[in-house]
């Protein structure tokens, strides 16, 4: 079953099938941040090791909208909920 990473429960495991690009204004102009935080988001995730085909496990979820902590390969990583909402995972039963 496919789920968004943001919806997965603690301890759930699966394979990343897709990472949606952050849609919206391009990373330019006022308040768009350095090198445009938005349009590079998928790439930022990839360079940290969060990529299609990787097996991901939910380590823990912080309360009140806090970040999600995941395990990929040997690494422990943390990412915000919005970002995690754009990562689609094929969850292992």
Contact 56, 11 (CB under 8 A): no
Q: Residue 52's closest CA among 1, 89, 4, 9? A: 89
Contact window for another protein (CB under 8 A) among 1-9, 13-21, 69-77: 69-77
- Given 13, 69, 88, 91, the residue binding another protein (CB under 8 A): 69
Contact residue for another protein among 7, 20, 28, 33 (CB under 8 A) = 33
Nearest to 69 by CA among 12, 3, 1: 12
With contacts defined by CB under 8 A, name the span among 1-9, 12-20, 54-62 that binds another protein: 54-62
In this structure, are residues 90 and 17 in contact, taking their beta carbons and an 8 Å threshold? yes
Q: Is 1 in the site for another protein (CB under 8 A)?
A: no
Q: How far is the CB of 14 from another protein (least distance, A)?
A: 19
């Amino acid at each position: 079953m496919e789920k968004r990473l943001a919806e997965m429960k603690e301890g759930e495991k699966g394979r990343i099938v897709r990472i949606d690009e952050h849609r919206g204004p391009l990373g330019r102009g006022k308040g768009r941040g350095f090198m445009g935080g938005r349009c590079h988001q998928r790439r930022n995730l990839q360079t940290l090791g969060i990529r299609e085909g990787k097996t991901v496990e939910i380590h823990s979820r912080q309360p009140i909208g806090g970040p999600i902590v995941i395990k990929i390969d040997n690494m422990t990583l943390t990412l915000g909920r919005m970002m995690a909402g754009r990562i689609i995972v094929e969850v292992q039963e």
